[in-house]
Structure 1
Amino acid sequence: MKTQLLIRRTYSSTITHSANAKITHLSRTGHVHEARRLFESYKYKSVSSWNSMVAGYFANRMIRDAQLLFDEMPERNIISWNGLVTGYLKNGEIEEARKVFDEMPEKNVVSWTAMVKGYVQNGKVDVAETLFWKMPEKNEVSWTVMLHGFIKDGRIDDARKLFDMMPVKDNIAKTSMVLGLCREGRVDEAREIFDEMSDRNVITWTTMLTGYRQNNRVDDARKLFDEMPEKTEVSWTSMLVGYTLNGRIEDAEEIFEAMPMKSVLSCNDMIVGFGKKGEIAKARKVFDSMKERDDATWRVMIQMYERNGFELEALHLFALMQKQGVRPTFSTLISVLSACASLASLHHGRQIHTQLVRCQFVDDVFVASVLMTMYIKCGELVKSKLIFDRFPSKDIIMWNAIISGYASHGLGEEAVKVFCEMPLSNSTKPNEVTFVATLTACSYAGMVEEGIKIFESMEPVFGVRPITAHYACMVDMFGRAGRFDEAMKLIENMTVEPDAAVWGSLLGACKTHSQLDLAEFAAKKVIEIEPENSGTYVLLSNIYASQGRWGDAAELRKVMKTRMVRKSPGCSWIEFGKKVHAFTRGGISSHPEQESIEKILEELDGLMGEAGYNPDYSNALHDIDEEEKADNLRYHSERLAVAYGLLKLPEGEPIRVIKNLRVCRDCHAAIKIISKVKKREIILRDTNRFHHFRNGECSCKDYW
C-alpha cells in the first residue's frame, strides 16, 4: 500500500513538473495564451503551476494579468512572493516591487538580494545600500550585487571597503573589483588582487588585460597577453585595439596576422589603424579579405578613404555598398557627402541629400551645415542659401558656412551683409571662424577698408582675440591690393609670432604683383617654418624662372630632392555619366578617349588664337623653348577637364571643374576665352575660390 502511494506521488510530481515546464516554455516563446489554456485545463493546480503562469505573464509584459492571477492564488509560498517581486523588477516597476516586498509575510535572502539588485539596476545605489545593511543575512550573491552597485556608481573607495569586508570572495567578486579599479585608473591595485587570485579564468585575464589597455599601458598589457594560458577572441581584439589606439600599427599588424580567427570587429579595428597611419592599400586588402562585413566595416573604410584624400575611392566604394544592398548609416552618408563636396560631385551629392530626406535627417542642424557646404563646394550657392533660409534657428556653423560660401564665390558684399545680420538673429555671436570667413571675403573682393574695420572691431566689440589666421587674411588683403607697406607693418606689429600662413599670404601677393625681392624673403621664411611644404618651393622656383635665374631654380630642385619634398601633381575632376573623371597634368595618353580630347584641344588652339590668346609662360619652371612651353601649358589638368566637358556635356549645361591646386594665370586667361568662343558657362573651383567664366569674363574680375 505504501509502495503504491509512493508511486502515485512520484508520478503526480513528474506530471506536475512536466506541465510546469511546458507552461514556462510556451510563455517564454510568446505563446502565453496557449500556456493559460494548458494551465486552465489542470483539474488540480499546484503552487508551482500558479507560479509558472504568473512568471509567464511577467515574461510577456502582461503585468496586470500577472498581479490578478497572483491575487487569485489559493495558497502562496515564498517562491510565489519572490516571483512577484522579481517580475515587477524585470519590467522596470521598482516602486510596485517595493510595495510587494514590504507586504511579504516572510522574506529570505533571495527576496532581499532581488530588491537590492533592482535598486542597483535602476541607479538608486544609495537606497540599495540602506536596504543591504538591513539584511538579516547575506550570501555571496548579496555581497557581490552591492559591490557591483558601488562600482557602477563610481564609488570605488566604498567598493574596496566592501570587498575587504566580504567573508567570502568568489571569482565574480574579485573580477568585478579588478574591473572597477582599472576603470578608475588604479591599475596597480587591480593587479595586486589579480595576482592573489588562485582561480583565475579567461574572463579575469581579459579584464586585467583590458584594464592595462584602457589606461594606455600597452606594454604591460602585452606581457600579460603573452602569459595568458588561454586566449579568446576578446583577448586578441583587446590587444589589437591597444596597439591601434596608441598608433603602434606595426605591433597591431603582428597581432592581427597571428590571430587564429579574425572577427569582423578585429578587421574593422585594423582598417581604422591602417587608415590613421595612411596605409590605404593595406586597409583595403583587409577589407577585401573579409568574408563577412557589418555596417561598421563599410563605414570605417569609406571614412578612411574620405579623410585621407581618396574621395573618388570613397564614392566607388559607396556605389558598391549600395549594389550589395547594404543600408548606409547616418555617419556613412555624412562621409560620402563630404567626399562629394571635395570632388564637387553634384550628382552624388543630390543623391545623398535625397537619402537624408528619406531618413528624416534634414531637420538636423549639423546635417544642414554639411549639405550647405556640399552645395557651396559644388558651385550651387543658391541651393545652399535656400537651406540656410529654411532654418529659423541657425547655429554658428550654419552662419559660418554661408559666409564662407559667399567668400569662396568672391561675393564680398553679400558675405559682409550676412556677417552684420548675424548678431541680430538669435543673439548668435561671431567666433574665430566667422572672422576668417568674413575677412577672406573682403580680401577676395578687394574690400580693404571694410576688412580693416571688421578686423579692428574683433576684440573691442566682439571679444575675439586675433590669431595668426586672421593676420594671414589681412596680409592677403593688403597684398592683393598692392599695399605691401601696410602688410609688412601689420606683420611687424603682430601680437603673435607670424606662421607659415602669414608669410605664405605675403608670398602669393608678391608673386601676383612681381614684388620679387620681397617674395624671395617671404618664401625663405615659409621654408624655415615648413620645410616640407612643396608649394612654397614651386612658387620660389617660378620667381627664379621669371627672372631667368635658372641656376637658382636648379639648385632649389636639388634642395627639394635632398629633403625628399615632392610636388603635389596637378589634378582636376569633372563629373559626367554619374561618374567623376580625373585628369592629371599631361595625363591623357592612357585615356580611352584620347583622340577625341586631342581633337577638342586642337580646335580650341585655333579658336583661341583667332580670339587673340597669347600663352603666359610665367609658370614655366624649365629653360625650354617656346613651343615646348606652349605644349606644356596646353596639357594642364584643368584644360584637359574643360576639353572633356566640351566633348561630353550637352550645350547649355555648365561645365564644372575642380582642381587640387590654384589655377595658373595662363589657364585662367585661356578658359576665359574658351567660355566666349564656345559660348559655354565654365565653373572652376581651385584651392582658393570659385571662378565663374561667362562670355570671356570671370566672376573674380581678375582679382584673385
Structure 2
Amino acid sequence: MNMAGGGRSRTAAQFADLLQSCIDKKWLSVGKLLHARLLRLGLHSDTFLFNRLIELCSKCVETLYARRLFDQMPHRDVYSWNAMLGAYCKSGKLQEAHDLFGRMPERNAVSWNNVISALAKNGLEDKALGVFSGMVSQGLVPTRFTLASVFSACGALSNVAYGRRCHGLVVKIGLDKNVYVGNALLGMYAKCGCCEDAVRAFGDVPDPNEVSITTIMGVLAQTERVQEALHMFRLMLREGINVDSVSLSSVLGLCTERVNEEPDAVDGESKELSHCMLQGQQIHGLSIKLGFEKDRHLTNSLLDMYTKNGDMGSAERIFSNLLPEEVSVVTWNVMIAGYGYKSRSDKAMLLLQRMQSLGFKPDEVTYINMLVGCVRLGNIGTAREMFDNLSSPTLSSWNAMISCYFQSGNEIEALRLFRRMQFRGVQPDRTTLAVILGSCAGMGLFEFGRQVHAASLKGTYAIDVYVASGLISMYSKCGKAELAQVLFNRMTETDIVCWNSMMAGLAINSRDMEAFALFKEMRRKAMVPTQFSYTTILSCCGKLPSSSVQGRQVHAQIVKEGYANDVFVGSALIDMHCKCGDVDGARKFFDAMPLRNTVTWNEMIHGYAQNGRGHEAVALYRDMIASSHERPDSITFVAVLTACSHGGMVDEGITIFNSMQREHGVEPALDHYTCIIDSLGRAGRFNEAEAFIDRVPSKDDPIIWEVLLSSCRIHGNVILAKRVAEELHRLDPQNSSPYVLLANIYASQGRWDEARAVRELMDSKKVAKNPGYSWIDIKSGDQTFLEDDFQALEG
C-alpha cells in the first residue's frame, strides 16, 4: 500500500508539473488531454490537480469548461472557489462572479481582491469601493493588490475624499513604504487633480521606479512646473532606473508644455521654443541610442513634439521614413494637427486626402484637428461645413466646434450650437460647460448662465472644480460676485484655478480688499500662487489705500518664488508701482526685465501718462516703435495719447493719432478720438475740438461730450458748456454729470442764479447724483466714507 501510495504521489506530482507547464504556455488542448488521463487513473478526487485545471481554464478564458470542472469536484477548498471566481472575473462575467462570491463558504483576501479588481477594471468603480468597505468591515486586512484597485477606482471617480481615508488605512497597516501601493496612491492623487498631494505622496515612496517618476513628471507638468519634471527625468537617468518608451514619450510631452504660454513675447517665445526643441532633440537621440526608433507610440510622440514646436521639416523627415506598418491613424492625426497649428490647412487637407487614398479611415480626432486648423487660419466657415458633414458628431466634435466659435469671439454662435447640441440629446461634459460659461461671461448673460449652472447640477458636475471655476467667473463678470462667493464657499475641494477665479471675480467687481484678504487666506492654506494669482492681486494692490506697503510685500514674495522674470507678472508689477506713484522704480524694473511684450511697454507708457510725465511717455513710445520686436496696438495709442493730453503736447498727440492707421495699421477707436478732444479742450482750442468731433464715427457717445464739458469748466467757456450740456441731456437724460459740471461752471463765475436753476432742473427731472467715496487708512483697518458721512460729521 505504501508503494501504491508513493506511486500515486509521484504521479500526482508529475501531473502537477505538466499542468504548470500548460498554465505557463496556455496549452488548453494539452490540459484537456491531461484531464482525461486524470479521470482514467482515478485521480478525479485530487483537489489540488483540479484546482490547477481550473486555473488553466481561467488563463485561457474558458469559463464554461472551468465551471464543469468546478461542479464535478467532490471536494473543494478555498483555492477552488477562488480559482473559479478568478476565471469569472478575468472573463468579465461579473454577474456570475457576484453570484459565486455570495455562495462562498469561506472568503480570504484573494476572494475580495478578485471581485474588487474586476469591478474596478470594468467601469463599476462605485461597486468596487462598496465591496472594499464590506471587506474592511469584516476585519480583513487589504493587500497591496487590493489597495491598488481601490486607488484606481478612486482616481476614476475623482473621489479624493475616499482616497484620503484609504491613504490613512495604508499608513495604519504599514504599507505606506510599499512602492506598488505608493505608485497607486500617487496615480490616484494625480487623476483627482490634487497635485500637491501627489508630490507629497511621491516623496513618501522610498525607492521610486519608472512608474513613480513617469507619473510625477505628468503631475508637475499639469502644474506648469516643467523644469522640475525634466529634473525628475534627469534623476531617473542618473539613478540608473529603467527608461522605457513610455517614459521617453512622457518626457517628450514636457518638451511641448510651455510653447504657447507667452505668444505675445516674441523674444521669449523664440527662446522657449529653442529650449524645448533642444531638449526634444536630446530625447530623440536618446531614444535612438536605446533602440526605440521603431516603437510606434514613441514615434508618434516625437512627431507630436516636433509639430508642436513648429519644426514641420523634422516631422516630415521622420514621417516620410516610416514603413507602412509603422504608420497608424494616430500618426496621420499628429501630422494633420501639426499643419493646422502652423495655419496650413491646405496641406492638412491634402494629407487627409492622401490618408484616405491609402486606406486609412479618418476618426473623430482627424476631423477635430482639421476643424482646429481651419479656425487657426480664420476659416471658420470651412470648419463649420466640415462639422455639418459629420453624420453623428460625438461630444468631442461638438466641443471642438463650440470652442472654435468661442475662441474667435463669436459667443452668440457658440451658444446657438450649444442649444442645437441639447436638442440632439447630446449631454455636455465639463469642457462644454466651461466653454459655454465663458461665452455667458463674455456677453454678460446672467440668466443663460444660471441655466447652464442648472444643467451642471443635473449632470452631477456641480463639485467639479473645472466647471465651478467657470461658474465663479461667469457670476463675477455678470456683476453677481455674492453668488460667486457663495458657490466658492460651498466647495469641498478647490484648486488654484478656483482661488484665482474667485480673486479675479472680486477684483473686477472693485472688491479689492476682499480679493487681497482671499489671497492671504490662500497662502495660509498652503496653496501655491501662479502667475495669474500674482497678476490679479497686483492689480488690486494699486487700488488699495495702503497700496505701496502691500505692493512691496507682494513684490518681495514674487521675487522669492521666482516669478519676477515672468513677462505677465512683470507687466503687472510695473502697473502696480506706477499706480503707487513709484514711476522711477517701475522704470528700473522695466529696464531690468529679460523679456518684454506689448503689454509690458503699454503699462510703462501708461504709468508715465498717469503720473503726468508725458515727455517720457512719448520718448518710450518712440523707443517701442524703433525696436524690431514690438508693434504698438490700440492700447499703446490710448496710453501715449493720454500722456500727450495730460502733458499739454497737443500737436505731438495729433501727429501720433494721424500715424495710427497710416504707419501702424491700427484703426482709431472712440478712446483715441476722446484723447484728442480732451487734449484740444485742455489747451482751450475749442474750435478745433468741435471740428474734430465731426470726424468721430460715434458722435452719440456721451463720453466725448463729457470730456469737452469738463474742459469748458477749466476754461470757463459758458456758451459752449451750455450747448454741450444740452447735447448730453438729449443723449443720457438721467446722467448727473452734465448738470453738476454746468452748475459748477456757473458757480465758479459767481452766476449763482443760473447755478441754482440747473440744480432745480436736476431735481425736477429726478436725476440723482452718484455719491462720492473716500478711503481712510487707520490703525484698526481701512474705512470707507460716503460724501454724506463727512457732511454729517461736520454737522
Q: TM-score range by the shorter chain?
A: 0.5 to 0.7
Aligned to 1:341: 542
- Once residues 470 and 232 of structure 1 are traced to their aligned partners in structure 2, the CA distance between those partners, rounded to angstroms, is 43
Instruction: Name the SS of the counterpart of 2:363 in structure 1.
Output: helix
Uncovered stretches (5+) of structure 1, i.e. residues with no partner: 36-57, 68-82, 104-110, 196-203, 444-449, 602-630, 632-704
Deviation at 1:246, TM superposition (A): 5.9
- Once residues 415 and 289 of structure 1 are traced to their aligned partners in structure 2, the CA distance between those partners, rounded to angstroms, is 49
Query: Which gives a bigger RCO, structure 1 or 2 (Cα 8 Å, sep 6+)?
Result: 1
Change (3 A) 1:122 1:7: farther
Change (3 A) 1:577 1:352: farther
- 1:440 and 2:622 equivalent? no
Aligned to 2:740: 538
Using the size of structure 1 for normalisation, the TM-score is: 0.59
Which residue, out of 276, 283, 286, partners 2:487?
Answer: 286
Aligned to 2:691: 492
Deviation at 1:268, TM superposition (A): 0.8
Could you tell which deviates more after superposition, 205-214 or 417-426?
Answer: 417-426
1:546-561 equivalent positions in 2, closer than 5 A: 547-549=752-754, 550=756, 552-559=758-765, 561=767
- Once residues 404 and 329 of structure 1 are traced to their aligned partners in structure 2, the CA distance between those partners, rounded to angstroms, is 25
Amino acid across the alignment from 1:359: E
Which residue, out of 2, 17, 20, partners 1:11?
Answer: 20
Q: Do 2:678 and 2:711's aligned partners in 1 also have CA atoms closer than 8 Å?
A: yes
Post-superposition Cα deviations, 1:328-358, rounded to whole Å, max 9, x if no partner, equal 3222222222122123422322221221221
1:148-297 equivalent positions in 2, closer than 5 A: 148-153=333-338, 154=340, 156-158=348-350, 160-161=352-353, 164=356, 174-183=363-372, 184=374, 186-187=383-384, 189-190=386-387, 192-195=389-392, 205-214=394-403, 215=405, 216-225=413-422, 227-228=424-425, 233=430, 240=437, 243-244=440-441, 247-258=444-455, 259-260=457-458, 261=460, 262=462, 263-297=464-498
Change (3 A) 1:496 1:223: closer
Amino acid across the alignment from 1:130: S
- 1:580 and 2:782 equivalent? yes
Aligned to 1:621: none
- 1:130 and 2:320 equivalent? yes
Amino acid across the alignment from 1:250: E
Q: Do 1:159 and 1:177's aligned partners in 2 also have CA atoms closer than 8 Å?
A: no
- Once residues 595 and 416 of structure 2 are traced to their aligned partners in structure 1, the CA distance between those partners, rounded to angstroms, is 50
Identity %, equivalent residues: 19
1:562-641 equivalent positions in 2, closer than 5 A: 567-577=769-779, 579-587=781-789, 598=793
Post-superposition Cα deviations, 1:636-677, rounded to whole Å, max 9, x if no partner, equal xxxxxxxxxxxxxxxxxxxxxxxxxxxxxxxxxxxxxxxxxx
Amino acid across the alignment from 2:316: D
Instruction: Name the SS of the counterpart of 1:586 in structure 2.
Output: helix
Q: Do 2:531 and 2:569's aligned partners in 1 also have CA atoms closer than 8 Å?
A: no
Instruction: Name the SS of the counterpart of 1:575 in structure 2.
Output: strand
Post-superposition Cα deviations, 1:522-557, rounded to whole Å, max 9, x if no partner, equal 223345556675423432354577542445544444
1:374-523 equivalent positions in 2, closer than 5 A: 374-381=576-583, 383-384=585-586, 387=589, 408-409=610-611, 415-416=614-615, 419-420=618-619, 423=622, 427=626, 432-433=637-638, 435-443=640-648, 451-452=650-651, 455=654, 476=678, 479-480=681-682, 483=684, 486-492=685-691, 496-497=695-696, 500-523=702-725
- Once residues 789 and 573 of structure 2 are traced to their aligned partners in structure 1, the CA distance between those partners, rounded to angstroms, is 32
Q: Do 1:440 and 1:473's aligned partners in 2 also have CA atoms closer than 8 Å?
A: yes
- Once residues 518 and 585 of structure 1 are traced to their aligned partners in structure 2, the CA distance between those partners, rounded to angstroms, is 30
Post-superposition Cα deviations, 1:367-415, rounded to whole Å, max 9, x if no partner, equal 45533433343344564465467669988766765665565555xxx64
Change (3 A) 1:581 1:322: farther
Post-superposition Cα deviations, 1:273-294, rounded to whole Å, max 9, x if no partner, equal 1222222222222222222221
CA RMSD after TM alignment: 5.0
Change (3 A) 1:294 1:27: closer
Deviation at 1:250, TM superposition (A): 1.9
Q: Do 1:337 and 1:370's aligned partners in 2 also have CA atoms closer than 8 Å?
A: yes
Could you tell which deviates more after superposition, 237-246 or 366-375?
Answer: 237-246
Deviation at 1:305, TM superposition (A): 1.9
Change (3 A) 1:194 1:349: same
Instruction: Name the SS of the counterpart of 1:318 in structure 2.
Output: helix
Instruction: Name the SS of the counterpart of 2:788 in structure 1.
Output: coil
1:643-682 equivalent positions in 2, closer than 5 A: none
Amino acid across the alignment from 1:491: E
Which residue, out of 319, 325, 331, partners 1:146?
Answer: 331
Q: Do 1:212 and 1:218's aligned partners in 2 also have CA atoms closer than 8 Å?
A: no
Post-superposition Cα deviations, 1:244-269, rounded to whole Å, max 9, x if no partner, equal 56654422312312424311111110
- Once residues 125 and 406 of structure 1 are traced to their aligned partners in structure 2, the CA distance between those partners, rounded to angstroms, is 47
Instruction: Name the SS of the counterpart of 2:16 in structure 1.
Output: helix
- Once residues 86 and 318 of structure 1 are traced to their aligned partners in structure 2, the CA distance between those partners, rounded to angstroms, is 39
Instruction: Name the SS of the counterpart of 1:284 in structure 2.
Output: helix
Aligned to 1:117: 300
- Once residues 519 and 432 of structure 2 are traced to their aligned partners in structure 1, the CA distance between those partners, rounded to angstroms, is 32
Amino acid across the alignment from 2:688: K
Instruction: Name the SS of the counterpart of 2:777 in structure 1.
Output: strand
Change (3 A) 1:560 1:365: farther
Could you tell which deviates more after superposition, 509-518 or 151-160?
Answer: 151-160
Deviation at 1:206, TM superposition (A): 2.1
Could you tell which deviates more after superposition, 315-324 or 254-263?
Answer: 315-324
Deviation at 1:12, TM superposition (A): 6.0
Change (3 A) 1:427 1:402: same
Change (3 A) 1:112 1:508: closer
Q: Do 1:346 and 1:378's aligned partners in 2 also have CA atoms closer than 8 Å?
A: yes
Which residue, out of 518, 530, 551, partners 1:317?
Answer: 518
Change (3 A) 1:33 1:348: closer
Post-superposition Cα deviations, 1:146-189, rounded to whole Å, max 9, x if no partner, equal 343344323653564366458686xxx63324433543453454
- Once residues 520 and 33 of structure 1 are traced to their aligned partners in structure 2, the CA distance between those partners, rounded to angstroms, is 80
Q: Do 1:365 and 1:395's aligned partners in 2 also have CA atoms closer than 8 Å?
A: yes
Structure (1 or 2) with the greater helix fraction = 2
Change (3 A) 1:467 1:248: closer
Change (3 A) 1:366 1:11: closer
Q: Do 2:736 and 2:770's aligned partners in 1 also have CA atoms closer than 8 Å?
A: yes
Change (3 A) 1:426 1:393: farther
Aligned to 1:199: none
Using the size of structure 2 for normalisation, the TM-score is: 0.53
- Once residues 595 and 241 of structure 2 are traced to their aligned partners in structure 1, the CA distance between those partners, rounded to angstroms, is 49
Deviation at 1:120, TM superposition (A): 3.5
Instruction: Name the SS of the counterpart of 1:587 in structure 2.
Output: helix
Instruction: Name the SS of the counterpart of 1:574 in structure 2.
Output: strand
Change (3 A) 1:575 1:232: same
Amino acid across the alignment from 1:157: M
- 1:330 and 2:531 equivalent? yes
Instruction: Name the SS of the counterpart of 1:343 in structure 2.
Output: coil
- Once residues 13 and 28 of structure 1 are traced to their aligned partners in structure 2, the CA distance between those partners, rounded to angstroms, is 33
Instruction: Name the SS of the counterpart of 2:543 in structure 1.
Output: helix
Instruction: Name the SS of the counterpart of 2:647 in structure 1.
Output: helix
Q: Do 2:565 and 2:594's aligned partners in 1 also have CA atoms closer than 8 Å?
A: no
